[in-house]
Structure 1
Amino acid sequence: MTRQLPNVLFRWGVLSVLLVIIGCPIAFFIWGSFWTTAPGLGGTATLRGYQELFSPQVYSTLGNTVAVAVSGTAIALVLGVGGVVVTTKTDIVGRRLIAPAFLVQYFLPSYILALSWQFYAGPKGPVNQVLLALPMFDAPPVDIFSVWGIALVSGSHYAGIVYLLTKGAIESVPASLEEAAEISGAGLLMTLRKITLPLASPSLLIATVIVFTRLLQSFGTPLILGIRGGVFVLATQMYLALRGYPYDFTFAAALGMILLLIAVFGVAAQRRLSGAREKYETIAGQGNVTTAEYDLGRYGHVLSAVFLALIVFLYLLPVVTLVASSFQQTFLGFDLEHVEWTLENYLHFFVGSSAETFRLALKNTLLLSGVGGVVGMVLAALVSYIVIKTESVVGDVLDFLTFVPIVIPGLVLSTAYLWFFLNFNVFGLYGTIWLVMIAFTAKFIVYGVRASNSSFRSIGQELEDAANIAGAGLFGTFKRVFIPLLKPGLVSGYLLLFIDYMKSLSIPLLLGAGNAEVIQVLMWRRIANGNAEQSAAIATIIVALILVVYVGTYLLTDVAVTDI
């Protein structure tokens, strides 16, 4: 009992921490949707927020949300699955460039990609300028600030996660089946339709549910592209209800409950599909090769040209346009004759009037991403140990608690934190950078847990037993046994947390203010004030920071995000 007591206290202590940073704020949020004011400030119970959901404005917003989600999911699936097929089943030229393009696009913040498309396909962007040179157009034909523009940007962004989730399943389809179909006269498309995609359907369904759920709750891209075009989705309408005056917490919470229910549906559907996926197993002999390659002949050059063009026009040129715009006094696209190139947009933040504000925001961002990533991984490793190495109900509860926040919109989670800490300002956290760090940890801890889980499963129980026999306690075993063997999982999980902490906009937009402002919020304020060129400079700095940290960590540890 003397040896078991610390383990019991350890498990319940970790559970208590997660209940405070995840469970309590969500409970306050649900309560607030039925209250006339923010919880704790008086008021009475009400259904007003839910009654307002039946207004024509909300119907229009819900229609936009569904349209973006359906269209964006379709685009993500076509690009992602197409990329997997091209890179694993064909021998086209340039296929090695496709996977890095998908992954880099996914790791970049969605709001930065939206800003890049604003320059790239806006009225003065190169897309419309090229099309206007054709005689059939007398006005900019591409409206990137529409529902379909938001769907295109969002769908191409999430093609990366479709690629990651479906690549293993499509590669694992036995080559013997595909070769038999080819011998029988079936072409690539028929083989995909009759054999490959049906066998990979569990992974395809999981990818569809994840992308669709995320697009229903997307915030950054609709905020930057949608508001300018008068297109609102549930997340942006909720944000405006919280930022308008007077604040309408009740209506915002009712809108958030729609997103919360969608998140719960996403969790249930994903877990059900994941369970179904585990029931499928392909039986293959020793002579089975990993995958079949199709010789497309002359069509291979056409397919190669199409995919390389997609990579250039959908992924490369928008970012190039963003960087170019950051060096322009006023954005004029690539009209080189009239463009005024300048460093003023950067100097404004490094030595100009906004230098002090920028330095504080940059310091907060690096503190959140650097220190917060470490804190998140430490807590994630402790949770992972309980989930994998102990057989207890606490482990099941922790596994569920860490998974739920990732599918809860950041705007909902940050609003829950706002209300909870307004009423219980524990340790004076409200209005500080530490509250933002706690919210980030709650939101993204699942990545650290999943990264640690695979490493913990690979460590045999006999090593832990040997450490206990030698007199090492729980933390001694962690220090001398687990941490050295967990290095790949810990480092790759840390990279994911660092990138996501720097990518997130919705959480610091509500919780960060004054001395707690971060660089991504500073960028949004420049966009809101109509200074797109300065916001492009900040976006370029954020992209550079993410790439430097990722490449630097990889060079020092030889561990990449894909090692999870």
Structure 2
Amino acid sequence: MSATVAERPSVDAPRPEDGQQPRAGSMVWSSARRRAGVWALLLVVAYLVGMPLIRLQGLAFDDGAGGYDRALATVGLGELIWRTVYLAFGSMVVAMVLGTLLAYAASRLPDRAGFLRSVPIVPIVLPAIAMVVGWAFLLSPGPGYLNAALRKLPWWDHLESGPVDVYSLPWIVIITGFGLTSFIYLFVSAGMANISADHLEAAHVAGSSGAGVFFKVVLPLLRPSLIYGAGVGLLLGLGQFTAPLLLGTNKGIRVLTTQMYFSTSQFPVDYAAAAALGSPLLIFGVLIVIAQKIGIGDQTRFVTHGGKGAVRRQRPSRWAAVFIAVYGLVAVVLPMSGLLVVALSPYWSSSVDPSSFTFANFRTALDSRNIVESIVTSLVASITAVAIVLPLGYAISTVLLRRRGMPIARTLLDFLVALPLGIPAVIFGAGFLLTYSEPPVVLYGTRWVIILVYVTLMLPFATRMMTNGMLALGTSYQEASWVSGASRLRTHLVIMLPLLRGSIGGAVALIFVLLTHEFSASMLVRSPTTQVMGTVVYDFWSNGAYPTVAAVSIIMTAVTGAGVVAAMSIGGRDVLSKL
């Protein structure tokens, strides 16, 4: 029962004004201006996205591809690639299993527990570096709080450390998987909305158990969402940087992204080898995108209802509420509790002494000039990037939704905007470092290099959310405005922008959240005088100032939460549902 969707009218249709057809000369002039504007927009995006990548690969091929020669000579290169693939696939599997089960559980929540649907989204709002540090405080072999509690059990009371080692590769994979689960949950939840409860009820009536319905009906119908989610999860897993850097460095566990970072930050600095090391990630990204297209095929085969009115809710289950609550406890409450305990303690040890709790670490953090400046830089860079990328994403969406004219420009623009989703942020960071640390444009050491890399990384998110909002509105409002004699600019300012308030608020929330705790690219483009909150946390972590690390991590979380509240004031209370 596939839904039939009527073709939308073109937004480029001629618009009569005051009942009169426009003059041929004015139409030609208007069309020429639009074409010039589209090509100018394409050049801006091409420079932002393409120049750093071209600069990076150009450096790798200099001197007879010397960068590739040195990259291939890297000690343990095969092990490096294997760990990267292991991390990507392992974390993707963890995220796919948890995200799919959470989405299914969310679809069966009782009315009184409906608020739990937002629990799986919370890890997106929390800074990744804060979550990783929180898990380290819980599961470090010696002083980890959870390990200390586990050693009191009869099975492990003979151990002096462990039994869990958070600095091992399997646990790096598990923690990374927890971080990716929210993204998979969002994709699968959208797919669950297309499954009619009638099909599930029919399976129950036919005698199938709950598990049978899930595996024989739900999972096959979720195939497009699962394939797309797996592709995105795999891409994100390949580009993981935070957990491998913070947890794997002490034991020499490196992946391609961390090796790239060390190639650019340790003596002797070798940018060319770093650029070459990033090439496998680019190749993997292209292959995953192709596999997605082949695997999904015709998506209309997986639609089981013709509209929202045909959807009925599934049978509620108390176990669904229990499962989501337990996930929230493990994935959110536990690591944040570890952070809070260390932040309130004078030092990090395996014992918790509430009588010694103090706010001195917070005062130390807020009295530190470097930390305060990093907070200011994070806020200024994030807010400025949001102010730039939103109108840029709006303009790109307007061009991409046109049905007539300039197919080459639209195809190129669509491809360029999608690139930052498939290429790890650390590669863009290295590319921006090389591009803007030499003439003709030298921005290294200023906030502008951070702002530009933030704008580039957020282009896909801003464009996608704006595009979804415009598609939901259709073209009738624009056409009515044009018939009334309004210009295109007035139509967008007076009609479209107010109607897109929810999408704009959701875009602001998502982009601000992602940028305030962006870490991978920031580590590459930072300078001694220009730091953001995440890079400062890493410096204190490297120096062993763990209570300060915990305090700054909680401050990061508070700043991000304040940004979400501000976005909700713009886009309404349902902003989180748009993330």
TM, length-normalised to structure 2: 0.88
Q: 1:99 to 1:222 in 2, by over 3 A?
A: farther
Distance 1:535 1:312 in 2: 22
- What displacement does 1:463 show? 4.3
Distance 2:207 2:126 in 1: 42
Distance 1:521 1:8 in 2: 42
- What displacement does 1:154 show? 0.9
Give yes or no for contact 2:109–2:321 (8 Å, CA) kept in 1. no
TM, length-normalised to structure 1: 0.90
Which residue number corresponds to residue 19 of structure 2? none
Q: 1:404 to 1:531 in 2, by over 3 A?
A: same
Does the alignment pair 1:478 with 2:485? no
Q: Among all aligned residue pairs of Structure 1 and Structure 2, give the percentage whose two residues are the same amino acid.
A: 22
Which residue number corresponds to residue 386 of structure 1? 399
Give 1:489-500 correspondences, 5 Å limit: 489-500=503-514
Give 1:167-316 correspondences, 5 Å limit: 167-273=189-295, 276-278=298-300, 280-283=302-305, 288-293=310-315, 305=322, 307-316=324-333
Which residue number corresponds to residue 419 of structure 1? 434
Give yes or no for contact 1:128–1:140 (8 Å, CA) kept in 2. yes
Which residue number corresponds to residue 544 of structure 2? 530
Which residue number corresponds to residue 76 of structure 1? 95
- What displacement does 1:19 show? 1.1
- What displacement does 1:515 show? 3.7
- What displacement does 1:71 show? 1.9
Q: 1:8 to 1:82 in 2, by over 3 A?
A: same
Runs of 4+ deviating beyond 6 Å: 284-287
Q: 1:304 to 1:519 in 2, by over 3 A?
A: closer
Which residue number corresponds to residue 406 of structure 1? 421
Q: 1:521 to 1:134 in 2, by over 3 A?
A: same
Aligned length: 545
AA of the residue aligned to 2:401: I
Which residue number corresponds to residue 560 of structure 1? 575
RMSD: 2.5
Which residue number corresponds to residue 52 of structure 2? 25
Once the two structures are superposed, residues 356-393 of structure 1 have per-residue CA deviations (whole angstroms, 9 ceiling, x without a partner) of 22222121111111121111101111111111136322
Distance 2:113 2:258 in 1: 38
Once the two structures are superposed, residues 300-332 of structure 1 have per-residue CA deviations (whole angstroms, 9 ceiling, x without a partner) of 66x765553343133211111112211111012
Give yes or no for contact 2:365–2:371 (8 Å, CA) kept in 1. yes
Does the alignment pair 1:346 with 2:362? yes
Give yes or no for contact 2:222–2:302 (8 Å, CA) kept in 1. no
Give yes or no for contact 2:85–2:238 (8 Å, CA) kept in 1. yes
Give yes or no for contact 1:171–1:290 (8 Å, CA) kept in 2. no
Give yes or no for contact 2:506–2:571 (8 Å, CA) kept in 1. no
AA of the residue aligned to 2:215: R
- What displacement does 1:105 show? 1.0
Given candidates 354, 375, 389, the residue that maps to 2:388 is 375
- What displacement does 1:474 show? 4.0
Does the alignment pair 1:9 with 2:36? yes
- What displacement does 1:415 show? 0.9
Higher RCO structure (Cα 8 Å, ≥6 apart): 2
Once the two structures are superposed, residues 430-467 of structure 1 have per-residue CA deviations (whole angstroms, 9 ceiling, x without a partner) of 32111111111111111111111122224454544555
Give yes or no for contact 2:339–2:554 (8 Å, CA) kept in 1. yes
Distance 2:308 2:64 in 1: 66
Which residue number corresponds to residue 139 of structure 2? 121
- What displacement does 1:236 show? 0.7
Q: 1:290 to 1:553 in 2, by over 3 A?
A: same
Give 1:83-98 correspondences, 5 Å limit: 83-89=102-108, 91=110, 96=114, 98=116
- What displacement does 1:268 show? 3.0
Moved more, 386-395 or 315-324: 386-395
Given candidates 112, 130, 138, the residue that maps to 1:112 is 130
For the residue of structure 1 that corresponds to 2:437, the secondary structure is helix
Distance 2:324 2:509 in 1: 29
Once the two structures are superposed, residues 44-70 of structure 1 have per-residue CA deviations (whole angstroms, 9 ceiling, x without a partner) of 222552564365512112222222222
- What displacement does 1:155 show? 0.7
